[in-house]
Amino acid sequence: MVAFNTLTLDHVGRSFGGQAALVDLTMDIHGGEFIALLGPSGCGKTTALNCLAGLLPLTTGDIRIDDQRVDTLPPEKRDFGMVFQNYALFPHMSVAKNVSFGLQMRHVGKDAMRTRVAEALAMVKLTDYAARLPGQLSGGQQQRVAIARAIVTEPRLVLMDEPLSNLDAKLRLDMRGEIRRLHQSLGLTTVYVTHDQEEALSMADRLVVLRLGHVQQIGKPTELHSNPVNYYVADFMGYRNLLDMRSTRADGRAITVAGVGIELGGVASHHTIAADEDVVAAIRPEDIRVGTGPNAFTATVEVAEYRGSGYAIDAVTSTGQTIHLLSGESHPVGAALTLTVRPERVLVYPKDPDVPVGGAAGAAPEVAP
Amino acid sequence: MSGTVATPVRPSLAHRLAERGIDRTLWLVVPGAVFIVAFFVYPFLYGLSLSLTPSGGDTCGAYSGVLASYHCFFADPFQDGWGTIGKTLRLALPAALFNVVASIPIAYQLRGKFRGKRFLQTMLVVPISLGTVLVAAGLLNFAGRSGWINRFLLLIHVIHKPLALVNNYWGVLFSLIITGFPFAFLLVSSYLSGIDPSLEQAAALMGAGWWQRFSRVLLPLLAPGLATTFMLTFVLAFSVFPSATLVGNPAGSTRVIALVAYQAYAEKFDYSLASAIAIVMGLVELLVVGLVAVWRSTLYRGSTGGKG
């Protein structure tokens, strides 16, 4: 059951004392979607969430649900659920009381309330903890209470503010799947804030990458992952090699770049780039192979870390530029490796991330298998 | 487990003492302890023994036994023990209650960050630095029969003869509120800052209006702090003395217990009676504080999520 068709954010902006924290966020969120707002701290993602929640008034723009203004409503009238980063559980109320709070505010009858609280606690596997106080629970359990509390009222929209950031790595993986499962089985619409690209990629239907309050790219995980719009987004999507280079030849999309002691053929997928410009070449570690092939160059092994499935190798070029790559086998430190990368996996971007997208965007290169 | 169990090595004496908190830093307690013994414990015990040694003077000559001074305080019509305690409670309880209750909305409004916050806070706390005598003088000028309040009310024909706002119960109550409020405000502010503001935000998102957020979330978390604040402001107000004389009616409605004790000491020279009254005063305070503490112990007193 989906509570609405479209939630529209129309040029939503928020400034703090003249300092813009969020600028012109415009997007449609469809009922049942899982949206992740992604970016480092200070990028405006929490501001965006708080604007949606009604905890911050907007400076510009408006928010509508199926053409009904909601940005003028106070938070208690919006019928949204929210999971706070610090969980914000009421410390003086038992788990069951915490979960039933929202139902009490909606004057749900006693019997219905008991059933729904029990259902919600069963959903997050906390049935046996109903009578405990939040202070007696572990971080992961508190986090699940916070989720139960946010969804028990069947809100129109669920907002989550980095809900997993206070958990340890293993629990975080478990909870990721759990949240996604609840989202699907309850037909929720979720807006999820995170700085963890892996979390965002694995959970969300669509991602919104923010930088300094500005939207960089909105799209499906696969779109962003294989074809980021600038090197800032590329950095977030796991393109760990961001090489400062210079374009030497431009032939439509195909760009040849040189610098840091190597020369590579690459593609400019979102921008028109001419010869002799400062550029950044973005390459994912897993796209660099040891062996001969196109774009071959040599580098010397500096560090080789065992990663279980293989080795993460840092190698340096003749100018001292570190290249990150993955390899199936170990290579001794100091060994000279011949490396190769397919030109369509070398993404070339203007040096300035604020250069607007130009040229034939969408002529995306194939996704490497 | 089987096999030989190794004899545990007995840790050194210094180590064992340190585990019980006994080490060289304990010396730091000495100056404070000496001070407390010399200036509190000894005078208190001295006063207690004095109160149990009736002086047999004119005032209490009719009473005998170890407890004669206490008996005298409660039975002698001039000392009027029960009446005196009642008068003092009638001043101290409402003053303390008002100070605590009035502090809540003001401290709440001053919680956020805004321009002029420091100035407002300073204005609210300044009365702490004014002596009771100064406050009394101010009250006499401001609220006296020909003070500004009465003159203004007469001018706009709200009243036809001056209101009696000082030299009676109300004058002392005003004075207690003026001097006690800053204490209550400072305490309540600090308790309030210990409550995580995201709790209220969470409540709002769950559909709670401002009254529900206050009564269901903020108040239960603040209550232990309010109880403590009440105890402190009550004790301050219960020992009222200068303003009872200066802006009160020391012969009648504001003949508070501290005043009666002072009269026994300075006018009747009955040190035993004065000490007995002081001890009774302490017991009444202890009783009220104890009752509040019992109520406080029934409240939730764990973490409040904030920086507190």
Q: Which residues of B touch A91 (CB under 8 A)?
A: 199, 221, 300, 302-305
Contacts of B56 by beta carbon, 8 Å cutoff, 6+ apart? B68
CA dihedral A50, A51, A56, A61 (to 10 degrees): 170
Q: Could you state, in chain order, the average pLDDT of each consecutive group of 10 residues for chain A (369 residues)?
A: 85 90 93 92 90 93 92 92 93 94 93 93 91 91 92 93 86 88 92 92 93 91 90 87 90 88 88 87 92 90 89 91 90 91 91 68 37
Parse chain B into domains and list their residue ranges.
68-297
pLDDT digits (tens, 9 = 90+) for B35-64: 999 999 999 999 999 999 888 777 788 888
Cβ-defined contact of B303 to A91 (cutoff 8 Å):
yes
**Confidence (pTM):** 0.81
Pair A182, A188: CB distance under 8 Å: yes
Q: Report the alpha-carbon distance of residue A246 to residue A238 in Å, rounded.
A: 22
Residue B5's pLDDT band (boundaries 50, 70, 90)?
Answer: low
Chain A positions touching chain B (beta carbons under 8 Å): 53-55, 74-82, 84, 86, 88-92, 101-102, 105-106, 133, 135, 149, 153, 159
Cβ count near B194 (within 10 Å): 16
Q: Which amino acid is at B304?
A: T
Kindly tell me if the per-residue pLDDT of B258 is higher than 90.
Answer: yes
Pair B181, B126: CB distance under 8 Å: no
Share of chain B above pLDDT 70, in %: 96
Q: Which domains does chain A have, with CATH numbers?
A: 6-226 (3.40.50.300), 240-350 (2.40.50.140)
Residue B3's pLDDT band (boundaries 50, 70, 90)?
Answer: low
Q: Report the alpha-carbon distance of residue A168 to residue B224 in Å, rounded.
A: 34
Pair A98, A145: CB distance under 8 Å: yes
Pair B278, B261: CB distance under 8 Å: yes
Give the pLDDT confidence score for residue A362 in this predicted structure. Answer: 36
Kindly tell me if the per-residue pLDDT of B1 is higher than 80.
Answer: no
Q: Report the alpha-carbon distance of residue A323 to residue A336 in Å, rounded.
A: 13
Structure tokens of A105?
Answer: 């505010």
Q: Report the alpha-carbon distance of residue A321 to residue A283 in Å, rounded.
A: 14
Kindly tell me if the per-residue pLDDT of B237 is higher than 50.
Answer: yes
Strand partners, A29: A7
Give the pLDDT confidence score for residue B25 in this predicted structure. Answer: 86
- The single residue listed with the structure tokens 């807006």 is A191
Task: Give which of B123, B239, B230 is closest to B172, Cα–Cα.
Answer: B239
Give the pLDDT confidence score for residue A220 in this predicted structure. Answer: 94
Mutating which of B198, B206, B221, B303 best tests the A interface, going by the most A Cβ atoms within 10 A? B206
Give the pLDDT confidence score for residue B65 in this predicted structure. Answer: 85
pLDDT digits (tens, 9 = 90+) for B174-216: 999 999 999 999 999 999 988 999 999 999 999 999 999 999 9
3-state helix, strand, coil in chain B (%, to 5): 70, 0, 30
Cβ-defined contact of A75 to B216 (cutoff 8 Å):
no
Give the pLDDT confidence score for residue A366 in this predicted structure. Answer: 37
Q: Report the alpha-carbon distance of residue A159 to residue A150 in Å, rounded.
A: 8
Q: What is the ipTM of this complex?
A: 0.82
Pairs across A and B, CB distance < 8 A: 74
- B68-297, superfamily in CATH? MetI-like (1.10.3720.10)
Mean pLDDT of B6-15: 79
Kindly tell me if the per-residue pLDDT of B34 is higher than 50.
Answer: yes
Q: Which amino acid is at B3?
A: G
Cβ-defined contact of A102 to B216 (cutoff 8 Å):
no
- The single residue listed with the structure tokens 């309050």 is A213
Contacts of B185 by beta carbon, 8 Å cutoff, 6+ apart? B99, B103, B106, B107, B124, B125
Chain B positions touching chain A (beta carbons under 8 Å): 196, 198-199, 201-209, 212, 216-217, 220-221, 300, 302-305
pLDDT digits (tens, 9 = 90+) for B98-134: 999 999 999 998 887 788 888 988 888 888 888 888 8
Task: Give which of B85, B96, B103, B105 is closest to B231, Cα–Cα.
Answer: B96
Cβ-defined contact of B220 to A82 (cutoff 8 Å):
no
Q: Report the alpha-carbon distance of residue A334 to residue A323 in Å, rounded.
A: 14
Cβ-defined contact of A90 to B209 (cutoff 8 Å):
no
Q: Which residues of B touch A74 (CB under 8 A)?
A: 204
Cβ-defined contact of A88 to B208 (cutoff 8 Å):
no
Among A76, A90, A91, whose Cβ lies nearest the Cβ of B207? A76
